[in-house]
């Protein structure tokens, strides 16, 4: 796809879709600004090149209402701090107002403005033509750099490209490079670690990766459906009874393809989903009836870490235990540590595993941490993302 590098932006009004959907505390303070810092290379480039920069994003799900709980004002403030220059912000409930259009038209080269939350308009998530056109009318070029929202076909991510030449920013370029090359041309051995609570959420990713990886490590809540499929006693552990047959079939398929599957061999368990109750370790095939596995045990952590030591490419999507509770974080910490210590290309597929790597202090040891949750999952499923599909080809 074409990027901002491939077009002349000097003196042009450029509307840039970012994913500034950042977590906030109750007072509205931004608690993690990685999505803002990840957008800086594109924004700074456009400023340096003398473009007139109009930024847009959504924040949360205000459902078409101008609910000030979801204003992008805190993002504008953080962005001006990071850029070291003022970012014009007009909190128009209709996003594009007369005042906003005037301000956009009056931008000088290198100046930056941020529009209000595009989801204050109900047309946004419906990819409404009128709203797409209103956004497009503000500018001469469209740059999409919102990887985290690239799986949505909305006015600001896709519709606007019907009316303006559209290219990608550096963040989308980087995400596609790392996630794409890992999947298409990985250095081997190629290991994928799949975790998280639900089998259902990961089925398509597993199917897609099964054709590519050498080893598939399965942890997290979803592992118990696989253990059950092997005929193990899993006690009260999370089970997707409808997908036991699927798990059986998948393990068979893996065997046919020569893909090694590693499941937990021991677990850390409790009688309730809580950090305040007694814990115990059990072999993965003998979890007593009233116990539930909430993390992989130390032997599994060792097994997984050994496998990761020899890997040359690793993709990690989903924690291997309920790491938000300290009693069940050791497995996920062990995986993060093993990844930090290998010289393999390590790619963290966004969402919870990105949060875990950050929380345990290994973020700067990873090759790439995706800013996409749902978007990186769909990318790894092999789907074409609408926000990328609309961009011009090279
Ligand atoms: C995300 O956080 O995954 C993206 O910003 C997309 O948000 P959405 O799921 O509300 O579309």
Q: Which pLDDT tens digit goes with each residue over 34-75?
A: 999 999 999 999 999 999 999 999 999 999 999 999 999 999
Shared domain check, 285 and 185: yes
Shared domain check, 115 and 37: yes
- The H or E element spanning position 36 is helix 34-37
Q: Which residues contact 264 (CB under 8 A, 6 or more apart)?
A: 218, 219, 223, 227, 284, 293, 296, 297, 300, 320, 331
Distance CA 65, CA 116 (A): 12
Closest atom of ligand 1 to 19 CA is 5
21 C-beta closer than 6 A to ligand 1: yes
Shared domain check, 124 and 101: yes
Q: Which of 125, 115, 148 is nearest to 61 (CA)?
A: 125
257 C-beta closer than 6 A to ligand 1: no
Query: What average pLDDT score do residues 213-220 get?
Result: 97
**What's the predicted TM-score (pTM) here?**
0.91
| Probe target for ligand 1 pocket from 23, 58, 157, with the most ligand atoms within 8 Å of CB | 58
Closest atom of ligand 1 to 154 CA is 11
Domain assignment of residue 273, given as a range:
177-380
Shared domain check, 374 and 232: yes
Shared domain check, 373 and 262: yes
| Probe target for ligand 1 pocket from 75, 152, 351, with the most ligand atoms within 8 Å of CB | 152
Residue 385 forms part of a structural domain: no
Residue 391 forms part of a structural domain: no
User: For position 138, which CATH number holds?
Assistant: 3.40.50.1260
Q: In sequence order, what DSSP letters do the residues of 114-126 get, joined into one string?
A: E---GGGSTTGGG
Query: What average pLDDT score do residues 14-37 get?
Result: 94
Shared domain check, 329 and 182: yes
Residue 66 forms part of a structural domain: yes
Catalytic positions: 35, 198, 351, 374
Task: Report strand pairing: 266-270 vs 279-283.
Answer: antiparallel
373 C-beta closer than 6 A to ligand 1: yes
Query: What average pLDDT score do residues 168-191 get?
Result: 94
User: 136, 170, 204: which is the final residue of a domain?
Assistant: 170
Expressed in angstroms and rounded, the spacing between residue 369 Cα and the centre of ligand 1 is: 16
Instruction: Look at residue 351 and tell me whether its pLDDT is greater than 90.
Output: no
pLDDT in tens, 264-275: 999 999 999 999
Give how many domains the chain has, as a whole number: 2
| Probe target for ligand 1 pocket from 20, 373, 375, 376, with the most ligand atoms within 8 Å of CB | 373
Shared domain check, 347 and 212: yes
ipTM given for this complex: 0.98
């Amino acid at each position: 796809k074409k990027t901002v590098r491939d077009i002349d932006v000097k003196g042009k009004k450029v509307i840039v879709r970012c994913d500034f959907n950042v977590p906030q505390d109750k007072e509205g303070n931004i608690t993690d600004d990685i999505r803002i810092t990840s957008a800086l290379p594109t924004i700074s480039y456009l400023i340096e090149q003398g473009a007139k920069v109009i930024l847009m994003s959504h924040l949360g799900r205000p459902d078409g209402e101008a609910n000030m709980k979801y204003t992008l004002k805190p993002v504008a403030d953080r962005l001006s701090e990071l850029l070291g220059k003022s970012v014009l912000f007009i909190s128009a409930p209709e996003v594009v107002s007369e005042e906003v259009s005037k301000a956009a038209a009056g931008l000088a080269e290198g100046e930056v403005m941020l529009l209000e939350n595009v989801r204050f308009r109900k047309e946004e998530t419906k990819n409404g033509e009128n709203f797409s056109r209103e956004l497009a009318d503000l500018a001469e070029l469209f740059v999409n750099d919102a990887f985290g929202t690239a799986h949505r076909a909305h006015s600001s991510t896709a519709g606007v490209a019907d009316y303006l030449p559209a290219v990608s920013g550096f963040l989308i370029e980087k995400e596609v490079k790392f996630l794409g090359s890992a999947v298409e041309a990985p250095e081997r051995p190629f290991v994928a670690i799949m975790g998280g609570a639900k089998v259902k959420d990961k089925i398509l990713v597993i199917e897609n990766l099964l054709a590519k990886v050498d080893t598939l490590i399965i942890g997290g809540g979803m592992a118990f459906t696989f253990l059950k499929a092997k005929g193990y006693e899993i006690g009260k552990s999370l089970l997707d009874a409808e997908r036991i047959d699927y798990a059986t079939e998948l393990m068979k398929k893996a065997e046919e393809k020569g893909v090694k599957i590693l499941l937990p061999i021991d677990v850390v368990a409790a009688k309730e989903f809580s950090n305040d109750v007694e814990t115990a370790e059990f072999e993965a095939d003998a979890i007593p009836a009233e116990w539930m596995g909430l993390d992989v045990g130390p032997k599994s952590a060792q097994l997984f870490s050994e496998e990761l030591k020899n890997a040359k490419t690793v993709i990690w999507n989903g924690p291997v235990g309920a790491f938000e509770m300290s009693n069940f974080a050791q497995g996920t910490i062990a995986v993060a540590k093993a990844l930090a210590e290998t010289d393999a290309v390590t790619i963290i597929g966004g969402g919870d595993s990105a949060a875990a790597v950050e929380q345990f202090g290994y973020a700067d040891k990873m090759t790439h941490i995706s800013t996409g949750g749902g978007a990186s999952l769909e990318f790894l499923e092999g789907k074409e993302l609408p926000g990328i599909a609309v961009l011009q080809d090279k």
